[in-house]
Structure 1
Amino acid sequence: MENIRPIKTEADYDWAIAEITKYFENEPEVGSLDGDRFDVLATLIEAYEDKHYPIEAPDPVEAIHSHMELFNLSRKALAEVIGSSPRATEVLNKKRALTLDMVFKLNKEWKIPAEVLVQPYHLANDRGRRRA
């Protein structure tokens, strides 16, 4: 078993992935030497991935679209949550910003995280301005 080392290059990253993969078929016991090694490798890999392969959260409208697609929900279902069909269409087309009431309802009824829904995003007619 090779010693753990910092992940500074893609080669180091590939090595760490190969090392941690060995534990997937035979999961180590928590608190054991192998369990501790697994935890350290996972932490190093996560830190490297966060720095080199960041995943940006979707904007609120992308999050709504994704949720609708994932759960096979229609525009009508969105209209039922936020109040009206024209409003749902405007929100999905980024012609209308989400209100706090809409955010609350989407969070409560569809379980979309509020912190995703309150992120600033560009409206279609903003021309460079961001909504508050």
Structure 2
Amino acid sequence: MEAIKLIKTEEDYDKALKQLEIVFHAKPDTPEGDLLEVISLLIHEYEQKHYKIVPLTPLEALKYEMEEQGLSQSGLAKRMGLSKSTISEILGGKKQMSINFLKFMHNELGIPAHILLAY
């Protein structure tokens, strides 16, 4: 196995991922377990800098969940007891989501509250 070093390039990153695969099932408090922890930290640091994941907005989360659940605008309107035009305005960004709508998104669609409250 190669020596551990900082991940500075995509090539270094690929090598680190391969090293991670080798020790992935290592037991804690063993030399392999320590190696797993160090490699994981290095990979995490590199990914935070180069592959930052931007959280979804509530609207993006709604559209994603609708697609995942096969829910049309009409279906969402029916479940919420709203008109299709209201749903259309919300999805088009023309109308703000009400507190009750946000609660529905959390309770009924399973969208995490931290996404709904972030914006």
- TM-score, scaled to structure 2: 0.84
State the Cα RMSD in Å.
1.9
- Structure 1 portions without partners, runs of 5+: 121-132
Tell me: CA distance 1:81–1:36, structure 2 relative to 1, closer, same or farther (3 Å).
farther
Tell me: CA distance 1:81–1:42, structure 2 relative to 1, closer, same or farther (3 Å).
farther
Q: CA deviation at 1:81?
A: 4.7
Q: Residues 96-120 of structure 1, C-alpha deviation per residue, up to 9 Å, x if partnerless?
A: 1112221112111111012222343
Within a 5 Å distance, the mapping from 1:15-34 to structure 2 comes to 15-24=15-24, 27-34=25-32
Tell me: CA distance 1:78–1:119, structure 2 relative to 1, closer, same or farther (3 Å).
farther
- TM-score, scaled to structure 1: 0.76
Residue 87 of structure 1 corresponds to which residue in structure 2? Answer: 86
Q: Report sequence identity in percent.
A: 35
Residues in 1 aligned to 2:29 and 2:76: alpha-carbon distance in whole angstroms: 47
The count of residues paired between Structure 1 and Structure 2 equals: 118
Residues in 1 aligned to 2:74 and 2:68: alpha-carbon distance in whole angstroms: 16
- Structure 2 portions without partners, runs of 5+: none
Does the aligned pair in 1 maintain the 2:23–2:36 contact within 8 Å? yes
Does the aligned pair in 2 maintain the 1:81–1:106 contact within 8 Å? no
